[in-house]
């Protein structure tokens, strides 16, 4: 037996240098000599000559002048790749998708064809009736406790707003403590469900949202206030609106625009997704550069066409485009966005 | 239509075509008919401890694996003080190290950590790469020993020489070739750890407290060295957390094709090598056919269901009312109504895109999911947790059966267990004593086969039951209801099948030892899965080698008129039937509780 130990040691001694030192070194030399761009991460430089990103790694874009990548469950953190892992049965998936859709979806037919549904969601929300019952926010809160809790934990200002409200509603809070003896000292997130229930009755047709005001000293102050319009209403309550308007003809959005990728770093979007964003992008660049919108649109459309490619030349999939490559081309052609 | 089936068809045809000459090459190497490279003959003679009988061979295998365990433990434990660690990553939690070490030495590569977050390049090279080479060779050698025992040889070869042959003459050249192709397509190969880039739109990543725009930190490293052997050795332990979905680990549709082919190459080859070394090529072609049938079925199933839109986002036009048996309700039933749901306006003609990448093509993800579990690789190129409910059944079936080509050698060993039991059942039916390879299969052989076969369901169902019934599992579930159960079940299925893929929503990550907020039951999951991997790896290697040795010792009887031929269509159906029936008997109940309940249950499910 001891012979097998010594032979095992010997095997390690011979094999480890080969597979852990020689083998990677051989590949490293081949990579650095023949494929230096790829072997060093496919890094591209910006207009100022400094590296701005990798062609293979998605990075976020917020400005309307740029193509936006797919949603990322990893917040585009290229040191911690991750998918969302949400299953179809998880309401959080539907909620995330619906929130992305609300502000962008347009009617596909009928008298309002081509117009956004967002104003209609706001008008419907202000009436504060869902399924024939009053108080949309309270019903939302009741059906999706997890989302209500999630709203409170999402931002410190949200939690502070609930803490404020707790001070003003001692009766409700002490009743809650009586009903939940296990949590004698509830935090803001614990009270989320109760908070929205009373908020909805105190502020019919409103939802707490961040609003910016110009103060007397000229500084902008952002605070949480009850509002009856804006992006929170359009996104959070789109799914409920949809349930009451199941027959409204809406234009389909390309799936990869609202469904997150497997790595959170997918550098590509589908060709239909790029074309869907084309109007927004070309209008913005046209106004930035004060040029004819039609001409700008044509130019950008050609850039998309030139960039698009498909797996195995189209044999095994549909066309997609590289977001960073396109945005870099836009930046080089039109300059700094305003 | 062409788009749908071209990729899987091309993959299977390529793997079959390559396996024919490659099996000849492998048999030639393993029979020792080659002339060693200059200098390597000396090493071989140094390693050779003389011919071993099956007991000695198994002992050598186990002793070597013991050392491998120590090696892995040490490498991971010293990560903080080793070079190639510019991020100053600390030590992982002890249970995570235990889990990772067992996971990599058993060729499982279940990862309760994230490669990009938790591993330095030192650990990637000396832990990941070394284990991925060595553990794959262990299964290969076990199969070769079994073949020699079947041939009636008293001495089944020398373990150390076999390991050397597999590593040097098969894995290293194949990995270098793949690595070069991968790099050409964009896979990084550097010993640096990270690169900082300013984003094209400054401040898009947010700003820090002082209002300075954040940069994007990109992690990379010797990816093109790790990935080839990860696939060729059917290991599946990714360099990055997102595994083969990560753009650096799988940069294009071409690398995805090569990645898939790499993991199929040796499992396909070994079946034919089995036939060549036994001089029963027709028999091995029958086994090959059974495996191919099951594999095509699993791929087709996965593609069919994954091309349907994500059911959580579509309309469910009619409200449905179920009557559910209830002890407390009047009349013994209570009613549950699932209201009708309006669909969201999404164009899902490419199927369910949640957790998928664009660059591989439409059916790449379900094809990969079916392949990776059939050949027990365990790499993933999409988020398995987000697969449509019924698609998820395909990878599960692959791991439950664990013999559809299977891992390096081990899959072939598993199908031989089904085969012995099938032969035994057939013998019972016709009233003749069962035979295999011209030798009578006795009680001892059947007992050993059944022990090895039963380890798998016992390990899966026992641990899944324990964790699903207690807070150990329920606290770790990320998705609701039946899908949460599937997450736990998938974890232990993957551990027992030595696969390594996962429904990764499951909270199994402790991370660094000083992590203040680890997943609450990650410690229990680490240890339980670690033990499952150990049992399910070594018992089904040792017992079949013993079985083969006992069978080989018997006298070979000439085949007569009543002998069941093992190279006929009848034998094909016998083997296929045995696998399907035994598999269904063992795992249909959990399939009903997991993916089937998920599919027919309410969608979406509260929250």
CA distance A240 to chain B (A): 9
Same domain, A325 and A310: yes
Look at residue B559 and tell me whether its pLDDT is greater than 80: no
Residues 575-594 of B with CB under 8 A from A: none
CA distance B365 to chain A (A): 10
CB B197 within 8 A of CB A48: no
Q: Which pLDDT score is estimated for B82?
A: 94
Distance from C-alpha of A129 to C-alpha of A141, rounded to nearest angstrom? 14
CA distance B158 to chain A (A): 11
Looking only at the bridges linking them, the beta strands covering A253-254 and B346-347 are parallel
**Closest by alpha carbon to B316, among B334, B290, B293, B341?**
B341
> Which residues of A62-195 form beta strands (DSSP E)?
129-130, 133-134
Look at residue B332 and tell me whether its pLDDT is greater than 90: no
Suggest the residue from A35, A68, A88, A336 to mutate for an interface test with chain B (most B CBs closer than 10 A). Answer: A88
Distance from C-alpha of B14 to C-alpha of A11, rounded to nearest angstrom? 34
For the packed helices B364-374 and B393-401, what is the interaxial angle rounded to 10 degrees?
20
What confidence tens digit (pLDDT) does each residue in B167-176 have? 999 999 999 9
- Kindly give, in sequence order, each residue whose CB lies less than 8 Å from that of residue B122, ignoring residues fewer than 6 positions away: B75, B79, B82, B83, B84, B85
Average pLDDT over residues B547-572: 87
Average pLDDT over residues A66-94: 95
Torsion angles phi and psi, residue A224, rounded to 5? -85, 130
**DSSP 8-state assignment for residue B236:** -
Average pLDDT over residues B80-94: 94
In a domain, A24, yes or no: no
Last residue of a domain, one of A207, A231, A254: A254
Within 10 Å of residue A170's Cβ, how many Cβ atoms? 9
In a domain, A39, yes or no: no
Q: Which pLDDT score is estimated for A116?
A: 94
Distances (CA, A) of B27 to A183, B24, B169, B264: 68, 5, 12, 18
Contact B353 A262 (CB under 8 A): no
Contact A28 B603 (CB under 8 A): no
B chain contacts of residue A30, beta-carbon cutoff 8 Å: 179-180, 183, 189
Same domain, A98 and A190: yes
pTM for the whole thing? Answer: 0.94
β partners of residue B322: B336
Distance from C-alpha of A99 to C-alpha of A94, rounded to nearest angstrom? 9
Distance from C-alpha of A106 to C-alpha of A250, rounded to nearest angstrom? 6
CA distance B173 to chain A (A): 9
What confidence tens digit (pLDDT) does each residue in B370-409 have? 999 999 999 999 999 999 999 999 999 999 999 999 877 7
Looking only at the bridges linking them, the beta strands covering A320-322 and B194-197 are unpaired
CB B356 within 8 A of CB B388: no
Last residue of a domain, one of A239, A254, A269: A254
Same domain, A165 and A296: no
3-state SS, residue B347? strand
Q: Which pLDDT score is estimated for B1?
A: 63
Burial B275-301 (b: 16+ CB within 10 A, else e): bbbbebeebbebbbbbbbbbbeebbbb
- Kindly give, in sequence order, each residue whose CB lies less than 8 Å from that of residue B542, ignoring residues fewer than 6 positions away: B58, B62
Q: Is B470 on the interface with A (CB under 8 A)?
A: no
CA torsion through residues B451, B454, B458, B459, sign: positive
- Kindly give, in sequence order, each residue whose CB lies less than 8 Å from that of residue B329, ignoring residues fewer than 6 positions away: none
State what percent of residues in chain B have pLDDT above 90: 84
Looking only at the bridges linking them, the beta strands covering A320-322 and A43-45 are unpaired
Same domain, A163 and A238: yes
Give chain B's mean pLDDT: 93
B chain contacts of residue A242, beta-carbon cutoff 8 Å: 342, 344
CB A299 within 8 A of CB B348: no
Q: Is B478 on the interface with A (CB under 8 A)?
A: yes
Look at residue B604 and tell me whether its pLDDT is greater than 90: no
Within 10 Å of residue B602's Cβ, how many Cβ atoms? 17
Could you give the residue ranges of the DSSP H alpha helices within B388-442?
Answer: 393-401, 410-430
Q: Which of A4, A86, A262 sits opposite B356 (nearest CB)?
A: A262
CB A254 within 8 A of CB A138: no
Same domain, A306 and A236: no
Same domain, A98 and A241: yes
CA distance B175 to chain A (A): 9
Q: Which of A242, A263, A315 sits opposite B342 (nearest CB)?
A: A242
**Closest by alpha carbon to B388, among B365, B364, B359, B357?**
B365
β partners of residue B152: none
Contact A76 B205 (CB under 8 A): yes
Look at residue B153 and tell me whether its pLDDT is greater than 90: yes
Q: Which pLDDT score is estimated for B550?
A: 95
Same domain, A65 and A199: no
Where in the sequence is the domain holding A122, given as residue range(s)? 91-254
Residues 237-266 of B with CB under 8 A from A: 240-242, 245-248, 251-254
Q: Is B219 on the interface with A (CB under 8 A)?
A: yes
C-alpha of B524 from chain center:
22
What confidence tens digit (pLDDT) does each residue in B453-486 have? 999 999 999 999 999 999 999 999 999 889 999 9
Burial class (CB in 10 A: 0-12, 13-18, 19+), A315: middle
Average pLDDT over residues A49-78: 95
Same domain, A229 and A273: no
CB A273 within 8 A of CB A254: yes
Look at residue B266 and tell me whether its pLDDT is greater than 90: yes
Contact A85 B478 (CB under 8 A): yes
Structure tokens at A123: 């008008």
CB B532 within 8 A of CB B495: yes
**Closest by alpha carbon to B116, among B239, B31, B236?**
B239
**DSSP 8-state assignment for residue B92:** B
Last residue of a domain, one of A204, A222, A254: A254
Number of domains making up chain A: 2
Distance from C-alpha of B424 to C-alpha of B437, rounded to nearest angstrom? 13
Contact B219 A9 (CB under 8 A): no
What confidence tens digit (pLDDT) does each residue in B187-196 have? 999 999 999 9
Structure tokens at A243: 């349930």
In a domain, A38, yes or no: no
B chain contacts of residue A86, beta-carbon cutoff 8 Å: 354, 385-386, 479, 505
Suggest the residue from A32, A59, A89 to mutate for an interface test with chain B (most B CBs closer than 10 A). Answer: A89
Q: Which pLDDT score is estimated for B606?
A: 62
C-alpha of B290 from chain center:
19
Query: DSSP secondary structure string, B375-400?
Result: TT----SS-GGGS-TTTTHHHHHHHH
Look at residue A95 and tell me whether its pLDDT is greater than 80: yes
Same domain, A160 and A248: yes
Same domain, A124 and A79: no
**Closest by alpha carbon to B266, among B467, B409, B62?**
B409
Interface size between A and B, measured as CB pairs under 8 A: 407
CA distance B125 to chain A (A): 6
Distance from C-alpha of A89 to C-alpha of B482, rounded to nearest angstrom? 9
β partners of residue A309: A320
In a domain, A14, yes or no: no
Residue of B nearest to A46 (CA): B200
Q: Which pLDDT score is estimated for A221?
A: 83
Q: Is B189 on the interface with A (CB under 8 A)?
A: yes
Same domain, A189 and A270: no
CA distance A279 to chain B (A): 19
Segments making up each domain of chain B, as ranges: 2-312+351-600
Residue of A nearest to B382 (CA): A262
Distance from C-alpha of B255 to C-alpha of B224, rounded to nearest angstrom? 11
Q: Is B362 on the interface with A (CB under 8 A)?
A: yes
CA torsion through residues A95, A99, A100, A104, sign: positive
Cα A129–Cα A134–Cα A136 angle in degrees, nearest 5? 65
State what percent of residues in chain A have pLDDT above 70: 100
C-alpha of B303 from chain center:
19
CB B153 within 8 A of CB B30: no
What confidence tens digit (pLDDT) does each residue in A249-273 have? 999 999 999 999 999 999 999 999 9
Q: Which pLDDT score is estimated for B151?
A: 93
Distances (CA, A) of B229 to B135, B176, B177, B190, B265: 11, 9, 11, 17, 12
ipTM attached to this prediction: 0.94
3-state SS, residue B68? helix
Residues 147-176 of B with CB under 8 A from A: 160, 163-164, 167-168, 172, 175-176
CB B142 within 8 A of CB B571: no
Contact B179 A27 (CB under 8 A): yes
Q: Is B405 on the interface with A (CB under 8 A)?
A: no
Evaluate the omega torsion of the peptide bond into residue A9 and state whether it is cis, within 30 degrees of 0: no
β partners of residue B512: B92
Distance from C-alpha of B183 to C-alpha of B1, rounded to nearest angstrom? 32
C-alpha of A234 from chain center:
15
B chain contacts of residue A42, beta-carbon cutoff 8 Å: 186, 188, 251
Average pLDDT over residues A105-130: 94
Same domain, A244 and A264: no
Q: Which pLDDT score is estimated for A219?
A: 78
Look at residue B562 and tell me whether its pLDDT is greater than 80: no
What confidence tens digit (pLDDT) does each residue in B201-254 have? 998 998 888 889 999 999 999 999 999 999 999 999 999 999 999 999 999 999
Distance from C-alpha of B187 to C-alpha of B250, rounded to nearest angstrom? 7
Structure tokens at B459: 């390990």
In a domain, A145, yes or no: yes
Contact B218 A78 (CB under 8 A): yes
- Kindly give, in sequence order, each residue whose CB lies less than 8 Å from that of residue B61, ignoring residues fewer than 6 positions away: B138, B141, B142, B159, B541
Look at residue B607 and tell me whether its pLDDT is greater than 60: no
- Kindly give, in sequence order, each residue whose CB lies less than 8 Å from that of residue B384, ignoring residues fewer than 6 positions away: B355, B369, B392, B395, B490, B501, B502, B503, B504
Suggest the residue from A14, A62, A83 to mutate for an interface test with chain B (most B CBs closer than 10 A). Answer: A83
Torsion angles phi and psi, residue B338, rounded to 5? -105, 115
**Closest by alpha carbon to A86, among B479, B343, B471?**
B479
Task: Tell me what percent of chain B is helix, strand and coil, each rounded to the nearest 5.
Answer: 60, 5, 35
């Amino acid at each position: 037996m001891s012979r097998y130990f010594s032979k095992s040691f010997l095997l390690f001694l011979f094999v480890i240098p080969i597979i852990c030192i020689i083998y990677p070194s051989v590949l490293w030399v081949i990579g650095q000599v023949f494929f230096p761009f790829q072997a060093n991460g496919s890094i591209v430089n910006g207009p100022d000559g400094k590296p701005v990103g990798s062609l293979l790694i998605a990075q976020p874009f917020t400005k309307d002048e740029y193509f936006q990548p797919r949603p990322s469950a990893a917040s585009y953190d290229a040191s911690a790749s991750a998918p969302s892992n949400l299953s179809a049965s998880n309401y959080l998936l539907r909620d995330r998708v619906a929130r992305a859709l609300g502000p962008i979806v347009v009617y596909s037919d009928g008298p309002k064809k081509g117009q956004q549904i967002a104003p209609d969601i706001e008008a419907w929300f202000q009436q504060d009736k869902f399924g024939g019952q009053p108080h949309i926010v309270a019903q939302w809160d009741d059906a999706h406790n997890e989302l209500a809790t999630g709203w409170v934990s999402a931002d410190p200002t949200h939690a502070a707003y609930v803490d404020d409200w707790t001070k003003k509603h001692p009766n409700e809070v002490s009743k809650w403590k009586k009903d939940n003896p296990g949590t004698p000292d509830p935090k803001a997130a614990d009270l989320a469900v109760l908070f929205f229930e009373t908020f909805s009755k105190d502020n019919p047709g409103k939802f707490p949202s961040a609003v910016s005001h110009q103060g007397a000293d000229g500084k902008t102050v952002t605070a949480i206030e009850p509002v009856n319009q804006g992006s929170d209403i359009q996104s959070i309550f789109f799914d409920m609106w949809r349930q009451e308007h199941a027959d409204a003809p809406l234009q389909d959005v390309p799936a990869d625009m609202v469904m997150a990728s497997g790595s959170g770093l997918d550098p590509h979007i589908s060709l239909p997704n790029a074309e869907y964003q084309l109007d927004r992008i070309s209008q913005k660049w046209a106004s930035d550069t004060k040029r004819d919108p039609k001409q700008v649109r044509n130019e950008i459309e050609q850039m998309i066409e030139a960039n698009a490619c498909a797996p195995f030349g189209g044999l095994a999939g549909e066309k997609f485009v590289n977001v960073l490559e396109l945005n870099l081309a836009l930046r080089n052609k039109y300059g700094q966005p305003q | 239509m062409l788009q749908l089936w071209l990729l899987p068809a091309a993959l299977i045809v390529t793997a079959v075509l390559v396996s024919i000459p490659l099996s000849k090459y492998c048999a030639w190497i393993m029979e020792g008919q080659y002339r060693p490279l200059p200098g390597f003959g000396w090493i071989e003679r140094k390693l050779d401890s003389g011919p071993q009988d099956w007991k000695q061979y198994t002992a050598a295998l186990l002793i070597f694996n013991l050392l491998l365990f120590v090696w892995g433990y040490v490498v991971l434990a010293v990560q903080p003080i080793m070079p190639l660690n510019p991020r100053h990553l600390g030590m992982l939690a002890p249970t995570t190290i235990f889990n990772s070490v067992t996971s990599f030495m058993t060729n499982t590569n279940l990862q309760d950590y994230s490669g990009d977050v938790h591993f330095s390049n030192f650990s990637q090279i000396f832990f990941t790469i070394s284990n991925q080479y060595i553990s794959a060779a262990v299964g290969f050698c076990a199969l070769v020993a079994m073949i020699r025992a079947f041939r009636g040889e008293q001495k089944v070869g020398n373990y150390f020489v076999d390991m050397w042959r597999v590593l040097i003459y098969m894995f290293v050249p194949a990995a270098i070739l793949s690595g070069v192709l991968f790099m050409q397509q964009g896979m990084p190969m550097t010993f640096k750890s990270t690169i900082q880039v300013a984003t094209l739109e400054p401040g898009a990543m947010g700003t820090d407290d002082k209002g300075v725009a954040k940069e994007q930190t990109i992690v990379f490293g010797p990816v093109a060295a790790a990935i080839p052997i990860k696939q060729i050795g059917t290991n599946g332990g990714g360099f990055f957390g997102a595994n083969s979905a990560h753009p650096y680990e799988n940069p294009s549709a071409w690398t995805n094709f090569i990645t898939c082919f790499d993991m199929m190459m040796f499992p396909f080859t070994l079946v034919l090598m089995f036939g060549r070394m036994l001089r029963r090529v027709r028999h091995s072609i029958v086994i090959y056919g059974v495996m191919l049938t099951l594999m095509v079925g699993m791929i087709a199933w996965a593609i069919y269901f994954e091309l349907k839109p994500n059911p959580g986002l579509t309309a469910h036009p009619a409200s449905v009312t179920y009557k559910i048996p209830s002890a407390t309700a009047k009349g013994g039933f209570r009613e549950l109504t699932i209201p009708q749901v309006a669909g969201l306006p999404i164009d899902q003609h490419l199927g369910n895109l949640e957790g998928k990448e664009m660059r591989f093509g439409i059916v790449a993800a379900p094809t990969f999911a079916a392949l990776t579990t059939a050949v027990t690789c365990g790499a993933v190129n999409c988020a398995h947790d987000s697969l449509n409910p019924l698609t998820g059944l395909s990878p599960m079936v692959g791991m439950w059966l664990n013999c559809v080509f299977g891992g390096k050698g081990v899959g072939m060993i598993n199908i031989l267990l089904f085969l012995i039991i099938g032969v035994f059942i057939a013998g019972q039916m016709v009233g003749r004593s069962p035979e295999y390879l011209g030798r009578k299969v006795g009680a001892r052989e059947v007992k050993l086969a059944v022990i090895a076969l039963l380890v798998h369901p016992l390990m899966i169902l026992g641990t899944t039951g324990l964790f699903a019934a207690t807070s150990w599992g329920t606290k770790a579930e990320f998705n609701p209801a039946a899908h949460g159960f599937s997450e736990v079940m998938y974890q232990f299925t993957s551990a027992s099948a030595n696969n390594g893929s996962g429904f990764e929503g499951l909270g199994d990550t402790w991370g660094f030892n000083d992590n203040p907020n680890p997943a609450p039951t990650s410690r229990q999951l680490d240890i339980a899965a670690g033990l499952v991997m150990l049992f399910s790896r070594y018992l089904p290697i040792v017992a079949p080698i013993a079985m083969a040795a006992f069978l080989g010792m018997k006298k070979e009887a000439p085949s007569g008129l009543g002998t069941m031929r093992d190279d006929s269509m009848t034998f094909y159906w016998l083997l296929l039937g045995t696998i399907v029936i035994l598999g269904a008997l063992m795992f249909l109940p959990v399939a009903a509780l997991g993916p089937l309940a998920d599919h027919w249950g309410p969608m979406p499910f509260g929250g």
